[in-house]
Amino acid sequence: MVQDCIFCKIVRGEIPARKVYEDDDVLAFHDINPITPMHFMLIPKRHIASLAEATADDAGVLGRIMVLAGKLAREQGSPYGFRTIVNTGRIGRQDVMHVHVHVLGGPNQLGPMIPRG
């Protein structure tokens, strides 16, 4: 239910979040449990459950999110690159079912994308 979706609640202002960026269609906010010195997420304000459910109608806002990632990462303290992650569904271990692009970085190089083994 969109009513119960935690990220929709953040969009509606029902749950506080440390916002990084906002416009009519996109919201960026810091992850509550950061795993790197810079860790924020970009979401479409409109509820899309996951990338697996995204349709052609969502291409515009998802494209805008990708284009914003670099600008916001530079502003947020990761000028020399960053990592984007979109966990999807059970296999991707997606916890919050409102599509979100994690943007990870900071002053130091990150570890390997997924530990091999």
Active site residues: 100
67 binds, among ligand 5GP, Zn ion, none (CB under 5 to 8 A by kind): none
Residue 31 binds ligand 5GP, judged by CB under 6 A: yes
* Whole-number Å distance between alpha carbons of 41 and 103: 6
Sequence-distant (≥ 6) Cβ neighbours of residue 98 within 8 angstroms: 5, 6, 7, 8, 43, 47, 48, 49
Among 47, 64, 74, 83, binds Zn ion (CB under 5 A): 47
Beta carbon nearer to ligand 5GP, 56 or 92: 92
Asked if 103 and 41 touch (Cβ cutoff 8 Å), the reply is yes
Residues near ligand 5GP (CB under 6 A): 6, 15, 17, 29-33, 87, 93-96
